[in-house]
Structures are given as C-alpha cells and as structure tokens.
Amino acid sequence: MDTETGVINGLVDGTYVTQLRTGAASGVAFRLLAKRHCEIGALIGTGGQAATQLEAMLTAKELKEVRVYDLDFERAKNFAESMRKSLAKFPTEIIAVADADEAIDNADLITTVTSSTQAVFDGNKVKAGATISGVGSYQPHMQEIPVELLKRASKIYFDSQEAVLAEAGDLLVPLDKGEITKDKFTGDIGQLASNELVGRENDEEIILFETVGIAAQDLMTAKSIFTKIQEND
C-alpha cells in the first residue's frame, strides 16, 4: 500500500512471501556467519518451506554437496529429485539420505526446517566450524536443535531475540530446564549487519542462527517483489 495515498499497489501471495523471506533469513545468516570456505550442506526437513531454504543455502555458498533428510524418506527422495531439476544452475549435488546424522556428518552448513518437538540430530556430531540455521521451532513445545549444540555454540544469533524468546522451544525449553543461560545469546543478526556486533572470529566456532520470522522480513520481501515488477514493466 502506498503510505502517502493509501492506494493499493499490489497483492502478494502470503504463503510464497513467507517461503521467500524464511529462506532469505537463513541465506543472510549463512552469508554473514559461515566460514569463507564451505563444501557440505545438510537440510533437515523437506516440507513446504524446504525449497527456498535449499536455494538460500546454495546462493549463500558454493557447495559441493547437500544432503537432505526427512522422517518421511520418500518425501526426501522426491524433494531431492525435484530440486536437482529446479536448482540445476547450481553446481551442487543434492542427495537424499536416510539418517539425520549421516546428513550432518562433516557438514559446514545445516538448516533445520521441521515440525519436530524433539532434537532432530545429534549435537555432538556437528563438526567444528559449522553454521546452523534453526527455522522450524516456532512454538514453545517445538524443538529441533539439540541442547548439546546450544552448549557447544560459541555464538547464538537471532532474527529477533525478543520474538524468538517469545516463541521458540529450541531456546525456551533448555532455558526453562536451566540447561543454558541467556549469557549464551549474542544478539540480532541485524546488529551484526550494521557492525554493532562481531561475527565469526575463526574457522572453529560453531554458530547458531535461530529464526521465527518477523514482519519486517515479509515487508521487505513484498517490497522487493513489487520493485522487480516495476523494473520489468
């Protein structure tokens, strides 16, 4: 909507905007937080949000291989097959695997985008230097990120710490049980983008980014769709 005149400039599909903006949040996190050289990615969860998550990962870093895993292995296989076609412009092998820990073995980038209520991989098996984006946990009972990983992470960033701490079981459950403290929390990714916070300091740090989605992301995504349409007119 035009903020001066109130005229409707356009209508966008909310589901698609959510997919784009959620992917973009992980993409920005990988760009800002991952090691310079990354080879292997892992994507846990191959549902409605997964395609843009995978595209964001491949856009952020040139990867040799991405393993995709879902509790429903057929779904993971079909997803991998379809992504090999739609993301063929990337030089990355996309492989479905039948085990979450096989997916994350030696992975530099990990995205979790499931509807799980318990940890989706073994936090002790994550390699030093990995960057993880936790996307799926958006209610206080939902968890994907293992507490071992929270303990091993040297930095934890958020799209919005306030929003994450109002919604995400990934942090709320371990905080509640006293397994972690807020001292672990570094701050919002925007503060890193504007140089208020330091990012990765060496190739050994494990860094977690946790996102639940905020309105600013939807707005900027819708705006950039609108700008593209204007440019192409």
Ligand X SMILES: NC(=O)c1ccc[n+]([C@@H]2O[C@H](COP(=O)([O-])OP(=O)(O)OC[C@H]3O[C@@H](n4cnc5c(N)ncnc54)[C@H](O)[C@@H]3O)[C@@H](O)[C@H]2O)c1
Residues of the shown chain interacting with ligand X in the complex, contacts defined by CB under 6 A: 18, 22, 44-50, 69-72, 75, 100, 113-116, 120, 135-136, 138, 211-213
The residue of the chain with the least Cβ separation from ligand X equals 47
Name the minimum Å distance from CB 60 to ligand X: 16
How do strand 109-112 and strand 155-158 relate by DSSP bridges? unpaired
Q: Within 10 A of 159 (CB to CB), how many other CB atoms are there?
A: 25
Name the minimum Å distance from CB 163 to ligand X: 9
* Comparison of 158 and 180: residue with beta carbon closer to ligand X: 158
Asked if residues 168 and 210 have their Cβ atoms less than 8 Å apart, the reply is yes
Name the minimum Å distance from CB 76 to ligand X: 8
Name the minimum Å distance from CB 24 to ligand X: 10
Name the minimum Å distance from CB 116 to ligand X: 4
* Comparison of 112 and 186: residue with beta carbon closer to ligand X: 112
Structure-token pair, residue 35: 């090691």
* Comparison of 9 and 71: residue with beta carbon closer to ligand X: 71
Secondary structure (DSSP) of 116-142: -BS-SS-GGGSPTT-EEEE-S--STT-
* Comparison of 92 and 111: residue with beta carbon closer to ligand X: 111
Asked if residues 111 and 40 have their Cβ atoms less than 8 Å apart, the reply is no
Name the minimum Å distance from CB 52 to ligand X: 10
Backbone angles phi, psi at 68, to 5 degrees: -115, 140
**73 class by beta-carbon count within 10 Å (0-12 exposed, 13-18 middle, 19+ buried):** middle
Element (H, E) at 187: strand 185-188
* Comparison of 18 and 191: residue with beta carbon closer to ligand X: 18
Bridge partner residues of 65 (DSSP) = 40, 93
Element (H, E) at 94: strand 93-96
Name the minimum Å distance from CB 231 to ligand X: 27
* Comparison of 99 and 201: residue with beta carbon closer to ligand X: 99
CA angle 124–100–82, rounded 5-degree value: 145
* Comparison of 70 and 108: residue with beta carbon closer to ligand X: 70
Give the HSE-up count for residue 61: Cα atoms under 13 Å, Cβ half-sphere.
30
